[in-house]
Amino acid sequence: MSGIMHGEMSCDRFEMVHCFPEPIRKQVVEILKTGQICKKLLRNEDILLYLEVSCMSRALKTACEEKLLESIEVMSSLDALQIAEKYELSLLRRETIELITEHFQNLWDNDAFLYLHEQSIDSLCQVKNVVKHEDIFRALEKWLDWNPEGRMTIYCKLLNAVQKQRSPRKDSVTEKTYQVYHAMIMSSAKPKSSIVAAVFNCDGDLACLRDLFKSNDIKDKFSVACAQKDETEAPYVYISSGKHVVRYDPVLLKYKNCQTLNYQRSDCSLVILGDFIYALGGHHNGNNVLEIEELDTKHHRNKLSLKKPLHDFRTM
């Protein structure tokens, strides 16, 4: 009896099979006729072609899944998870999630993590050990950075779900009297020199979008820090890009340029301590920036605080 699952082959499927390489095309036609499969003939490099028509044959789908289970490895588990989600391979999905959970420390910083589809990243964020992992927030932020505009909605939903699982409320009967929001400062796509603030609710819906200012000195890659001495004074937002540092006043809706840094750097860390801002790390032209600079915001002075490798600084 044939293993046909959904009746006769549709026109789209027929056209797809017709475009397959000749050996694979003949084998697929034979499988659909007889329901008999020689798993040894299914090569890993052709497995995605077979999966495209596996909805027509339960036996073919099972054989493909078994073939993938035999060859799955830690470093290929992220790609395998996406295959499992797309073609509804439940055994492969369970196996890959277990592998990713066990080796999350080594996988989240892998380039393959950037390409995870929404369904796959959502599946991982439902696993307790992944949610509790110390790098889960860094992993989600990295996943978002690959496509901020397209992934912002699902990112906010995942972030809210992860936060709830990591910090469950002890009193579940207490009426909820607050809302959770996520704020981000980013450069807008048109024009890139425009700096905007976006606020999203816990469902990932945009609650507020405001243009802050425009500056040709601030590029795509910038760092942000917020400083407020006490509740009687308004906070300031400091934005660093390259050598440029800008202070934005969210009350007066104005900005001004601060003293420039001595060293060009992107993706650095800004640390605020009293009247001082410290620029640490970052990179420029593919090289790490090891110098640590101090910016005096009160007297508008800038000086090189330390010129030591960061690992030496940590051991002081």
pLDDT band at 124 (very low <50, low <70, confident <90, very high): very high
Res 83 pLDDT > 80: yes
- Domain final residue, candidates 71, 106, 129: 71
Within a domain: 102: yes
Res 93 pLDDT > 90: yes
240 and 208 both lie in a single domain: no
User: Left (φ > 0), alpha (ψ -120 to 50) or beta: where does 204 sit?
Assistant: left
Identify the pLDDT of residue 282.
Answer: 87
17-21, 73-77, 119-123, 143-147, range with the lowest pLDDT:
17-21
Of the two residues 316 and 61, the one the predictor is more confident about is: 61
In the beta sheet, which residues pair with residue 225?
238
Beta carbons within 8 Å of 192's beta carbon, 6+ residues apart: 219, 220
Give percent above pLDDT 90 in the chain: 14
Identify the pLDDT of residue 11.
Answer: 54
**Residues 258, 246: contact at Cβ < 8 Å?**
yes
> What mean pLDDT value characterizes the chain?
78
Within a domain: 194: yes
Within a domain: 77: no
Nearest Cα to 16, choosing from 29, 35, 30?
A: 29
Q: What is the H or E stretch that residue 78 is in?
A: helix 77-87
Within a domain: 29: yes
31 and 116 both lie in a single domain: no
Q: What is the pLDDT of residues 203-246, one digit of tens each?
A: 667 777 777 777 776 765 778 888 777 666 777 888 888 888 88
292 and 264 both lie in a single domain: yes
- Domain final residue, candidates 71, 103, 130: 71
Distances (CA, A) of 194 to 152, 189, 217, 247: 19, 8, 10, 15
- Structurally, how many domains does the chain consist of? 4
Domain containing 240 equals: 220-314
Write the CATH number for 107.
1.25.40
